[in-house]
């Protein structure tokens, strides 16, 4: 049945599948720019695979957020036998991993904390015989960026302020729904100044950059630098302070935001490869549909582009290592130009994490850059990110997240080294995965509790509520460190 459509769309574009696509589509996209949020109508036509008779369905999106696109692809799966989004699949097997997780913050302690406590970075500040804990967290595209909270016991928290309240964001960074992404802040004491490193998008290029703000007080006010510390497709800054003179910045190259576009460029111009790379019928149909949308989708803002292409990303990451090997083998039989394109896809299907020493003022990098880890285990799929380094005894333990943050496949891994810059040896399996009570545990930090015991602070979603801008709770679990592995206590 057709759904209600806007009566006066501002823009319309007709898209058709390239020749030799396994399943052909004709899609009319109508967009209303005067609505807030933007609204879309999709008129989708394709022959029925069984009867061969053309079939047309209409879909209206009242917005361009994650929920809207998940709902769209769930309906397309029903009508055209496409792949069902992972977050819309009825779970036949519920997560069975067990972990003694404690809920620390389950609700917003301030009405302007819109999305909870993603990427929670906790530090302990010891002064005059007492201790206080501070946490800063991701705010996505909320008008007020980076909530700052404090606690005396790691359990009872009170709101302090937003690091960048509405209208006070850094001059180099953009702001606006689905345009700004204020992610992964961390506070650290470096040479008697409290530095907050964070991710935001450059207002001119919209590329993800790592910025910094500082204060002589952990409760601010924090003054941002006039330019980023590091530019160009970088996220998830972490700082390990080794001593009064030496600190290292760790970050991830956000290549998982790049390879899907490169792959779709290849498949759009060489659609005959779709059937070779995707074995399942629903995956072939889905990829053919996204390739049809690609001339329109590739010009969306980065976050919206991810929401549109996530369904293909899931088809790849479900068999990520095999897909990677298959694509590498396939490239050998292509023209030199296509070989070059495929090699670029393969390069960006790895997400390296780097480390480099910070200058004494914390505003720039000095010395050699080291590759610390990258995604190479099956459970990590297409990415590793969100690292935190802690020294316990004589070893350095690097906690990190892997897989898709918006699904129950996300988890936390550990790698161990003798030096802060590695080489790091990964544990073969994640130390923490989704449980029946909490999904997608990720982006941890490590701090000593009031009794001096190490505790892992992390975020997670309520079951079946994972997704971009869904609420993330803050959880805690104690740790036991061994020379070659870590246990949850």
- Which residue from 297, 291, 288, 268 is spatially nearest to 31, judged by alpha carbons? 297
Alpha-carbon distance 429 to 298, whole Å? 35
- Which residue from 30, 17, 16 is spatially nearest to 61, judged by alpha carbons? 30
Q: Is 156 tagged catalytic? A: no
**What DSSP designation does 382 have?**
T
Alpha-carbon distance 287 to 309, whole Å? 9
Query: Can you read off the two tokens belonging to residue 248?
Result: 């290292």
Q: What distance lies between CA 153 and its chain's CA centroid?
A: 30
Output phi, psi for 403, to 5 deg. Answer: 80, -160
3-state SS, 426-447, equals: ECCCCCECCCCCCEEEEEEEEE
Using the CB atoms, write b or e for 160-183: b if 16+ within 10 Å: bbbbbeeeebbebbbbebbebbbb
Among 31, 65, 119, 181, which one carries the catalytic annotation? 119
Query: Can you read off the two tokens belonging to residue 123?
Result: 């530090």
Instruction: Please report, to the nearest 10 degrees, the dihedral formed by the alpha carbons of residues 433, 438, 439, 445 taken in order.
Output: -60
Q: Is 371 exposed, middle or buried (0-12, 13-18, 19+ CB in 10 A)?
A: middle
Among 65, 181, 304, 385, which one carries the catalytic annotation? 385
Q: Is 385 tagged catalytic? A: yes
- Which residue from 425, 367, 413, 356 is spatially nearest to 386, judged by alpha carbons? 413
CB-based contacts of 164, cutoff 8 Å, min separation 6? 144, 145, 146, 170, 182, 213, 222, 224
Edge to edge, what strands does the sheet with 247-253 contain?
234-241, 247-253, 353-358, 365-373
Alpha-carbon distance 358 to 88, whole Å? 43
**What DSSP designation does 379 have?**
G
CB-based contacts of 306, cutoff 8 Å, min separation 6? 257, 260, 313, 468
The residues assigned a catalytic role are: 119, 385
């Amino acid at each position: 049945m057709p759904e209600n459509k806007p009566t006066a769309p501002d823009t319309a574009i007709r898209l058709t599948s390239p020749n030799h696509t396994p399943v052909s589509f004709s899609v009319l996209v109508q967009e209303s720019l005067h609505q807030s949020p933007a609204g879309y109508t999709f008129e989708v036509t394709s022959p029925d695979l069984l009867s061969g008779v053309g079939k047309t369905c209409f879909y209206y999106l009242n917005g361009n957020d994650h929920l809207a696109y998940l709902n769209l692809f769930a309906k397309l799966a029903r009508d055209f036998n496409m792949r069902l989004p992972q977050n819309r699949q009825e779970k036949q097997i519920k997560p069975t991993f067990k972990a003694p997780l404690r809920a620390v913050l389950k609700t917003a302690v301030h009405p302007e904390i819109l999305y909870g406590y993603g990427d929670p970075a906790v530090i302990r500040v010891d002064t005059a015989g007492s201790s206080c804990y501070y946490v800063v967290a991701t705010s996505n595209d909320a008008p007020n960026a980076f909530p700052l909270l404090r606690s005396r016991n790691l359990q009872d928290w009170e709101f302090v302020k937003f690091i960048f309240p509405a209208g006070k964001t850094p001059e180099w960074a953009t702001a606006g729904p689905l345009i700004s992404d204020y992610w992964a802040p961390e506070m650290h004491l470096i040479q008697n100044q409290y530095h907050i490193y964070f991710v935001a998008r450059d207002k001119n290029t919209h590329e993800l950059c790592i910025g910094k703000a500082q204060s002589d007080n952990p409760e601010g006010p924090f003054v941002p630098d006039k330019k980023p510390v590091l530019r160009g497709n970088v996220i998830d800054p972490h700082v390990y302070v080794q001593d009064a003179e030496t600190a290292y910045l760790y970050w991830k190259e956000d290549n998982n935001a790049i390879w899907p576009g490169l792959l779709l460029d290849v498949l759009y111009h060489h659609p005959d490869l779709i059937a070779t790379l995707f074995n399942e019928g629903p995956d072939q149909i889905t990829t053919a549909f996204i390739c049809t949308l690609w001339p329109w989708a590739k010009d969306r803002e980065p976050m919206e582009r991810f929401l549109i292409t996530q369904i293909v990303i899931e088809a790849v990451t479900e068999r990520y290592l095999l897909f990677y090997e298959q694509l590498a083998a396939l490239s050998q039989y292509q023209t030199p130009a296509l070989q070059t394109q495929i090699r670029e896809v393969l390069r960006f299907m790895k997400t390296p994490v780097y480390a480099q020493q910070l200058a004494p003022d914390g505003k720039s990098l000095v010395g050699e850059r080291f590759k610390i880890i990258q995604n190479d285990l099956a459970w990590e799929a297409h990415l590793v990110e969100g690292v935190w380094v802690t020294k316990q005894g004589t070893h350095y333990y690097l906690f990190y997240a892997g897989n898709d943050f918006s699904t129950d496949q996300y988890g936390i891994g550990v790698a161990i080294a003798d030096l802060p810059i590695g080489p790091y040896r990964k544990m073969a399996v994640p130390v923490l995965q989704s449980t029946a009570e909490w999904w997608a545990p990720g982006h941890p930090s490590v701090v000593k509790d009031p009794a001096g015991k190490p505790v892992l602070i992390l975020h997670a979603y309520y079951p079946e509520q994972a997704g971009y801008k869904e609420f993330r709770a803050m959880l805690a679990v104690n740790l036991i460190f061994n020379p070659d592995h870590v246990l949850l206590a």
